[in-house]
Amino acid sequence: MTDNFNTEINRNNDENNIIEFKNFSFSYSGSDRLALEDINLKVFEGTINLVIGKSGSGKTSLLKMLKTSLMPAGKYSGTVSFKGQEISQMDLRSQTENIGFVSQNPDNQIVTDTVWHELAFGLENLGLDNSSIRSRVAEMAEYFGISSWYEKKTNTLSGGQKQLVNLASVMVTRPKVLLLDEPTAQLDPVASKRFLDQIVSLNRDLGTSIIMIEHNLENVFEWADTVFALDSSKLIYAGNKDGLITRLNELNSELKMSLPKPVLVYEKLSGKTDKITIPQVRRWINNEFVDMPDNIRKNVEKLLEDSEAEADNTLKNTENKADKKCPIISIKNLSFSYKDSNKDVISNLNLDINEGEITAILGGNAAGKSTLLKLITKVYKAKTGKIKYMKDKRLIALPQNPLTIFTEVSLEEELAEAIMSNPALYKGLSLEEKKQIVEDSLKSMGLLFARKMHPYDLSGGEAQKLALAKVLLMKPDILLLDEPTKGLDVFFKEELAKRLEGLVKSEKMTILLVTHDLEWAANHANSCALLFDKNIASRDKVRKFFSGNMFFTTSVNRIMSDLFKNCIKLSDVDKINNLSKDW
């Protein structure tokens, strides 16, 4: 199927082929569908390859087939090879030396207590002598700029630092192929860009072949040589960026909405697709709209402000402002430090959370965002200060790692456990009615196909969906979410938003979430707060918050900010486009 849209790079001789899938299909144990169906593709040496697709489309499964240590139980057919040798026939040492892997969760991959030992660990297992280990580790530490924290404990590092250590510890074995499964999913926007810049440098400096799964394409799309698009376990495209856009238009595929915002903004305003980076599109917009009359520009600003006010009132679900109640959570002068440290993680923090709103907490890795949620849920005890809660409100939290709340051996049993452990919430319902609730919940999350699978066999996005389903079955009045959209495609993010907004509107649920997903927060939160230097540095309504930032802002705002300072989301571009037609 992909032969019609192969790129020039895919017309090279087979001697440049480093990875190849031939007629490959796979289904997980306990699943009644194929996770990968008749996959045929080639990865060529020295290239950067992106794998895109909806959550559950087979992206993570594809990567798992490239290392036997990652291959799950199930039924296989076809072949996967590295330089002509089937991966299943390669010994563990050869795989370790040639194929490296970095996962989306930094903590899952770190196995030692110090940075230097983490870098040396893989080489020790390969049996290298001490002199070679010291030489390689020193060189890699210098290359990645981590020499200054060489002696640090790994558990004291930020998420971005941990992921960089993971990358360095993989690259120290000098693999020919580097596999990356959403490596920036838990990184803040600044750390994410730095990490991806490092990946591009590895490719350019060392010729390492990169195969990367990413939902957020903003910082890496322009560097990709080849894009593989998966849909419903099938490969629907393999080729270059220009061909991808054309192909998705031909198929009228929803995957188009996962393309970087510069591509989508430019196409909306110009009808073309030849510009793909923020600088390119900014220059075009500044030239195209520089002569727009002031009255038209003011109409744009008023329209955007009015649309936010309307959305805000809808989500609040109050009849008038006089109905505003006391905060459902009120945090006063809160301070916290870990037992083994005298340094405060949070210091004298004050924050009110309003009932019936979605509040997003943003900030860099290690700013204290997850710690704040753990203080609110009383997992941690504050050193000083108080947290007051509105009476008779049920508070439920979903932690950053969804696997930590899974206790059962299948998806349907996982959700059944949530119902059975909360009998008061489901009093009077028959067993059949409870079974139907489980089935409906799995169906709404797109997980019915995997009902018999073990939760640990799910992809990162699927695990996040299951965890969300489980906490929603607990019917919280206050829902705390730590990185709820990580691992989710743009389509399910919107489904999730509709569900949460529906609960806010119908049940007056209050949602406090920590997120690095600035685009999602801009589209669906009522207000945003930036946690910096142990405290809330700023808090405001969404449009004012994002339009005032340079880095903790949306891609749309970075593109449009010269001429339309309060344009922060893609739907704003549609409004500008409509008004500009009268000009």
Q: Is residue 571 scored above 50 in pLDDT?
A: yes
Task: Judge whether 68 and 88 are in contact, CB under 8 Å.
Answer: yes
Is residue 62 within 8 A of residue 36, CB to CB? The reply is: yes
The number of residues in the chain equals 583
- CA dist 136 and 141 (Å) reads 9
Q: What pLDDT does 325 receive?
A: 57
- 513 pLDDT exceeds 50? yes
Give me the pLDDT at residue 468, please: 94
pLDDT at 289: 85
CATH architecture of 2-259: 3-Layer(aba) Sandwich (3.40)
| Continuous H helices in 217-293 | 241-251, 261-270, 278-289
The token pair that represents 582 in the structure block: 């009268």
- 10 band by pLDDT with thresholds 50, 70 and 90: very low
Kindly report the average pLDDT of the chain as a whole number: 88
Helix (H, G, I), strand (E, B) or coil at 429: coil
Inter-residue contact 358 to 340 (CB < 8 Å): no
Token pair of 277 as six digits:
């980076």
Residues of the chain above pLDDT 70, percent = 93
Q: How far is CA 291 from CA 113, 297, 561, in A?
A: 59, 10, 16
Q: What's the pLDDT band for 575 if we cut at 50, 70, 90?
A: confident
Sign of CA dihedral 203, 204, 206, 209: positive
Tell me the torsion sign for CA atoms 486, 492, 494, 499. negative
Coil/strand/helix, residue 408: coil
Q: Phi first, then psi: what are they for 339, rounded to 5°?
A: -60, -35
pLDDT reported for residue 564: 83
Counting beta carbons within 10 angstroms of the beta carbon of residue 404, is it exposed (0 to 12), middle (13 to 18) or buried (19 or more)?
exposed
User: What number does CATH give the domain 319-547?
Assistant: 3.40.50.300
Q: Which of 13-17, 271-275, 333-337 has the highest mean pLDDT?
A: 333-337
3 state DSSP class of 485: coil
Instruction: Kindly report, residue by residue over 492-509, the tens digit of the pLDDT.
Output: 899 889 999 999 999 899
- Model confidence at 343: pLDDT above 70: yes
Residue from 316, 312, 346, 318 nearest 332 by CA: 346
Q: 460, exposed or middle or buried, with CB in 10 Å at 0-12, 13-18, 19+?
A: buried
pTM: 0.82
Mean pLDDT of 461-467: 90
Quick check: 426 pLDDT over 90?
yes
Q: Give me the residues paired with residue 362 across strands.
A: 530
The helices-and-strands tally (H runs, E runs) of the chain is: 20, 19
C-alpha closest to that of 372 among 326, 329, 328: 329
Are domains 2-259 and 319-547 of this chain identical in fold? yes
Give the three-state DSSP class for 159. Answer: helix
pLDDT score at 310: 55
- In this model, does residue 2 exceed pLDDT 60? no
Give the whole-angstrom CA distance, residue 514 versus residue 521: 10
Mean pLDDT of 277-289: 92
Supply the pLDDT for residue 309: 61
Chain position carrying tokens 């990968």: 36
139, β-bridge pairs: none
Q: What H or E segment, with its residue span, contains residue 346?
A: strand 346-353
Q: Over the stretch 125-165, which tens digit does the pLDDT of each residue have? A: 889 999 999 999 999 889 888 888 888 899 888 777 888 99
**245 touches 582 (CB < 8 A):** no
Per-residue confidence (pLDDT) for residue 158, from 0 to 100:
77
Distance CA 214, CA 453 (A): 24
What confidence tier does 1 reach under pLDDT thresholds 50, 70, 90? very low
**What is the pLDDT at residue 284?**
94
Q: At what angle do helices 294-316 and 570-580 cross, to 10 degrees?
A: 140
Strand order across the 329-336 sheet = 346-353, 329-336, 384-389
The domain spans of the chain are 2-259, 260-318+553-583, 319-547
3-class secondary structure per residue, 347-361? EEEEEEECCCCEEEE
- Strands 99-102, 177-181: pairing is parallel
**224-238, 293-307, 480-494, 541-555: the lowest-pLDDT one:** 293-307
Residue 151 and residue 117: Cα distance in Å, rounded? Answer: 9
According to the model, what pLDDT value does residue 4 have?
A: 40
Q: Is-contact 23 78, C-beta < 8 A? A: yes
The proportion of the chain whose per-residue pLDDT surpasses 90, expressed as a percent, equals 62
For the segment 21-75, what is each residue's pLDDT rounded down to a tens digit?
999 999 988 777 899 999 999 999 999 999 999 877 899 999 999 999 899 889 9
CA angle 219, 216, 42 (to 5 degrees): 85
- φ, ψ at 561 (rounded to 5°): -65, -25
Contact 398, 351 (CB under 8 A): no
Which pLDDT value is given to residue 565? 79
The pLDDT tens digits for 302-320 are 777 766 665 555 445 444 4
Residues paired with 135 in a beta bridge: none
| pLDDT at 131 (0 to 100) | 93
What single letter denotes the amino acid at residue 525?
A: A
Q: Which of 168-182, 266-280, 319-333, 369-383 has the lowest mean pLDDT?
A: 319-333
Output the pLDDT for position 7.
39
Name residues whose C-beta falls within 8 Å of residue 287's C-beta, 6 or more positions apart in sequence.
none
Measure the CA–CA gap between 423 and 254, rounded to whole angstroms.
40
Tens digits of per-residue pLDDT, 222-232?
999 999 999 99
The yes-or-no verdict on residue 93 having pLDDT over 60 is yes
Query: Which residues have C-beta within 8 Å of that of residue 130, sequence separation ≥ 6?
Result: none
Q: DSSP secondary structure string, 529-543?
A: EEEETTEEEEEEEHH
